[in-house]
Structure 1
Amino acid sequence: APPMGQGRSDVARAHARLWADETARVDVARKMYAYRFGRVLPHSDISVLRGIEGGRLKETYKIMANKYGVPWHARRYDRQRPEAADLPNQAINHAATFVEAAADAAVAAVGALPPLGFIHEQSSNAFTLDVADLWRAEITLPLAFSVAAKVMRHPRLSLEPETRREAAAWFRKHKLIPNMIDRIKELLHVDDRRRHAQRV
């Protein structure tokens, strides 16, 4: 899916309209969770959905650790001392950073509004984080654990550059940014293909 082009305000207007309406905002958040869970949950309380997602992630960490043969204890992240984390946690941090960069590119490409998150709040890039999290189980964690396993087997490898190299390959293989662009437009109910057809 190509970017929608510079100067287009369709996405920004749709984004602002949905975010400003409390009911619509919750509906978009529920749709985001539906993508992540693979089904629509009946809950409309975002805090409940966050709790369900937290439990799901704990299981996903264990599944990924077992799949790639990586020792796993718990998710730990110290913003002040990220390098103090164990290797799997550092790998997750690096992978998440690269996926967020891809999401940032997708959000910018379509002209969406980064501060207006539907799940994340009080961040200048809240919507970017929302988009990145849609690929947490599909891309971020498999990427992180696969690289962690590789670095454990080959200690001479450096974790951050290796994660960066693998991330680039994974993103190309999975067409991550084009898929993010499509997902954003779907979430915000923007159909630029129909609009283009009307102009032709």
Structure 2
Amino acid sequence: MARVSQEHLDARRRQILDGAARCFARNGFHGTSMQDVLKEVGLSAGAVYRYFSGKEDIIAAITEETFAVIRGAFEEAARMTPPPTPDALLSRVLGGVLSGQVHGLERRIFAALVVQLWSETLRDERLAALLDEGYAIMRVAWGKLVDAYRAAGILSSDVPGDHVARTMIATAQGFIVQEALFGDVRPEVLENGLCGLMSITPQKIS
């Protein structure tokens, strides 16, 4: 019997993940059954269970992959020299991630899937651990960006770097939530808004 190539195995796994993601994006995790996934991908139960033990295993794989896509985009931007300022960086990275049609989904549908993944971590310890790991890595990456901003003389040293990192991550999350809820959240709006906020001169409160 001829051996199945790794390329074939990878393609079949990709087929399952993309099909399941479409189902989850349409009907939610709890509104989607394994039968729905099997119908979507056009495979037998045996073929799917060769790769995943069940729906929870598929959800975990999609979660890990989706977080990795977002995290990887920021880590790549952090390696740029000199690094782009936060307004340009967030606009570039999030615009690229959402327009990249991850899992073959349109940007608003993909954003909705990300929000569902976040909410699912509140009830699933396995997914929560994946999110915690990704969040910690993102904070480290942003911390390096903060160091680069300070070295370039464009950021003062009186604000803890981790505070800046967490605020920028929250901004990115808010952008994704807005896209999921309302759609048509253009990257240039985010960039212009952040640029405007960054230009405000701090006022002392007497």
Q: TM-score, normalised by structure 2?
A: 0.30
Looking at CA atoms only, which structure, 1 or 2, has the larger radius of gyration? 2
Higher relative contact order (CA 8 A, sep 6+): 1
Q: TM-score, normalised by structure 1?
A: 0.31
